[in-house]
Amino acid sequence: MKSSSTGPHDQRCLYPCGRPLLEFPSPLRLIVLGVTGSIGTQTIDLVKRNPDKLQVVAVSCRNRVSEMVSILAELASACPDHEAPLVAVTDPAAHAMAAALPGVGARLLAVGTTGLLEAVTEADNAHCLVNGLVGAVGLEPTLAAAERGLRIALANKESLVVGGRLVVDAVRAGGAEVLPVDSEHAAIAQCLSGRSEEEIGRLILTASGGPFRETGTEELVRVTLEQVLDHPTWNMGPKITVDSATLLNKGLEIIEAHHLFGLPYDRIDVVVHPGSIVHSLVEFVDGALLAQLGTPDMRLPLQYAVSGEKHWPLETGRVDLLETGSLLFEAPDPERFPCLRLAREAGVAGGSAPIVLNAANEVAVAALLDGRIRYVDIAHIIEDSLATEGPAEVKDLATALAVDNQARRTAAGHIDRRSVAGE
Ligand code: MG
């Protein structure tokens, strides 16, 4: 039997593998953070399709107030029996705008992260947080939901990348549960249905390979932002689409899987699977391999999480095996996709390293979207930032946030130096 790099206490999955899920009355009362984003709008779609089973009690957006207002108006007409949800707007200017809106002002929470935390703590009888926030900003609401003992439908992988053990401990202490929304981890959860964690041998995460799966090293230097944002199979927000092009997203998912399923890194593998039909696999200790297949539609993993791991009816595309023909798998190329290696190394190093990795990437991706750096610079900025910020221990939230802040400044410095150098 392979040895584990973690102690006996860590052997227990954060994911409730083989354990009963929390029970909630119907309809399940949802807090939807990031309601104007890809995860948020798809959650609202599920609520409209299942108004007897799901209800929204609080939402948040950053600055897309008018989009949020129309989402809420459509929700109200689809679900006339549901009361209007509380509203958090984090951007100060957008918050002021929302405060002036007659239908919204009365239900508006505080500005900034405080508003996100109020959405989690003040929504009446909330049962479930759907965390669809992008980036490290998702960590504190996850911790607040953990303390409140909620079901956490987690699409914000940064909660586990940045929070790590803090989240694991808070979920256990608060009697909460984390059900993954990330399609790969939701696939693993489906493969683990009715299993115990002692049966798990190895996890295999699939990666689509992104738009540059077959692009040569020299060509990668010249790819445009448009090409970066043109994902072959999944339709997602811009940040995660960039992360999918660098494979940094798959690296974050390795770290996410490590914390969720309590496995050491040498038992979490990645294969490139361009069709995005096999969403991930579990190899059991007897060598049996289970996979979950489906069309690339985030509503499936979302619904599996919020429903408490039920297969409710869902009108979505069906996989036609005869049309699919064969399934292609290949090894990821560490030379062309250094972000995957950097993420795995940061995960193994632990402590502050995953926080620095994530912060540097967030800053680098923002710079790419602003047209300030090239696609290939992202990996350099992450690597330089990890080299500048030595490893440190992270015992509490304050330390995690301080490391995150410092790493963002460091990454910004590396970006400026690259811009000045005219690279
Ligand atoms: Mg994913």
Residue 237 confidence (pLDDT): 84
The CATH number given to whatever domain includes residue 383 is 1.10.1740.10
**Average pLDDT estimate for 287-311:** 97
In 3D space, the residue among 143, 154, 153 whose CA is nearest the CA of residue 116 turns out to be 143
Q: What's the CA-to-centroid distance between 93 and ligand 1, angstroms?
A: 32
Domain contains 384: yes
Distance CA 103, CA 121 (A): 22
Q: Identify residues whose C-beta is under 5 A from ligand 1, the ion.
A: 182-184
Q: What's the CA-to-centroid distance between 181 and ligand 1, angstroms?
A: 8
Instruction: Give per-residue burial for 86-107: e unless 16+ CB within 10 Å, then b.
Output: bbbbbbeebbeebeeeeebeeb
Residue 236 confidence (pLDDT): 79
| pLDDT of 14 strictly over 70 | yes
Q: Quick one: 61 and 154 in the same domain?
A: yes
| pLDDT of 235 strictly over 80 | no
Q: What's the CA-to-centroid distance between 183 and ligand 1, angstroms?
A: 5
Q: What's the CA-to-centroid distance between 219 and ligand 1, angstroms?
A: 26
Q: Is the peptide bond before 27 cis (omega within 30 degrees of 0)?
A: yes
Tens-place pLDDT, residues 356-402: 999 999 999 999 999 999 999 999 999 999 999 988 999 999 999 99
Residue 422 confidence (pLDDT): 55
Q: What is the mean pLDDT of the chain?
A: 94
| pLDDT of 3 strictly over 60 | no
Q: Quick one: 40 and 177 in the same domain?
A: yes
Beta strand ranges found along 333-376 (DSSP E): none
Q: Quick one: 173 and 230 in the same domain?
A: no
**pTM: predicted TM-score of the whole model, two decimal places:** 0.94
Q: What's the CA-to-centroid distance between 244 and ligand 1, angstroms?
A: 9
Tens-place pLDDT, residues 125-141: 999 999 999 999 999 99
Distance CA 292, CA 276 (A): 11
The last residue of a domain, from among 152, 182, 212? 182
Kindly report the number of other CB atoms within 10 A of residue 360's CB atom.
31
Domain span at residue 384 reads 338-416
Q: What's the CA-to-centroid distance between 185 and ligand 1, angstroms?
A: 7
The CATH number given to whatever domain includes residue 108 is 3.40.50.720
Q: Show the DSSP H helices in 177-237 as ranges.
A: 183-191, 217-220, 225-228
